[in-house]
Amino acid sequence: MTTPPRREQPPHGEGSPPPAMDALRLRRLNRWQAETLKEDLADLYVESSRAQPGEDYRGREAFLRRLTGAIRRPGFALLIAESTAFAGCAYGFPVRREGTWWRGFDGPLPRSVEQLTASGHVFAITETLVHPHTDDPGLARRLQHRLLADHHASLGATLVDQADSAACDAFLSWGWQDIGAVRRPPDRPGLRPSDAFVLRALVLPLAPGPRTAAHPDGLAHENRTQRPD
């Protein structure tokens, strides 16, 4: 789940000045560093989220579970933006060639996305956080593009809760494209299949092609992307 920046910035409590966000630098964290800094990253999540009072603890625990699971994935990468404090972060991992990332996609997957997945050129960005007091309006986009470029990906991918219109709108404003819905079964015991939740599948081409009748999503076919034998 990606958390877009808050649109409103609540005042800090007495004695808690906002962190300095000038002169931001981007830095990669390895697995060990990400494990070591998990609690600090969870603090960033809470400060960046739009959770209602009383929901902070559950949101923090859910974030830590997601981060722990992502760290175990092959190719995991995390990029932070910092000055004297964390201003934001983005992390993810390469999408497996067999396409399990797209499980539950409603309808046929766009051919270009399927080809790029099969060729190993898709990187999933599973979380993007930006501190509400950062003065860099393009930080989320910069983190995402740098993470994708570092992995020589041709396409970024993410899944956003369809009910979270603020997150969906933020991604679209950052240049992502909505290619359809993904339906996932409930992940808690006691729920029925009909309780499946709907996610929006979003993609970010690093070098999008022109939008044509054949490729309305701007994702052109690439001859170099072939299915593995």
Mean per-residue pLDDT of the chain: 80
Point out the least confidently predicted range of 24-28, 65-69, 111-115, 224-228. 224-228
Of the two residues 173 and 12, the one the predictor is more confident about is: 173
Length of the chain: 229
Under 8 Å between Cβ of 128 and 168: no
* Stated pTM of the model: 0.78
Predicted pLDDT at 68? 96
Contacts of residue 181, Cβ cutoff 8 Å, sequence gap at least 6 = 105, 106, 162, 198, 199, 200, 201
66-77 CB burial, b ≥16 within 10 A, e <16: ebeebbebeebb
pLDDT bin (cut points 50, 70, 90) of residue 1 is very low
Predicted pLDDT at 195? 54
The stretch 31-49 carries a mean pLDDT of: 93
Sign of the alpha-carbon dihedral angle for 170, 106, 195, 185? negative
> Residue ranges of the domains in the chain?
25-205
pLDDT bin (cut points 50, 70, 90) of residue 207 is low
Among residues 130, 132, 113, the alpha carbon closest in space to that of 121 is found at 113
Q: What is the pLDDT of residues 125-154, one digit of tens each?
A: 999 999 988 888 899 999 999 999 999 999
**Is domain 25-205 classified as CATH 3.40.50.410?**
no
Whether 220 has a pLDDT exceeding 90, the answer reads no
Under 8 Å between Cβ of 128 and 151: no
Predicted pLDDT at 28? 95
Q: Could you tell me where the beta strands, DSSP code E, fall in 77-184?
A: 77-82, 86-94, 122-130, 155-161, 177-184
Among residues 8, 82, 17, the alpha carbon closest in space to that of 44 is found at 82
Two tokens at 68? Answer: 């722990």
Q: What is the pLDDT of residues 157-195, one digit of tens each?
A: 999 999 999 999 999 999 999 999 999 876 555 545 555
Two tokens at 191? Answer: 């729920």
Predicted pLDDT at 192? 52
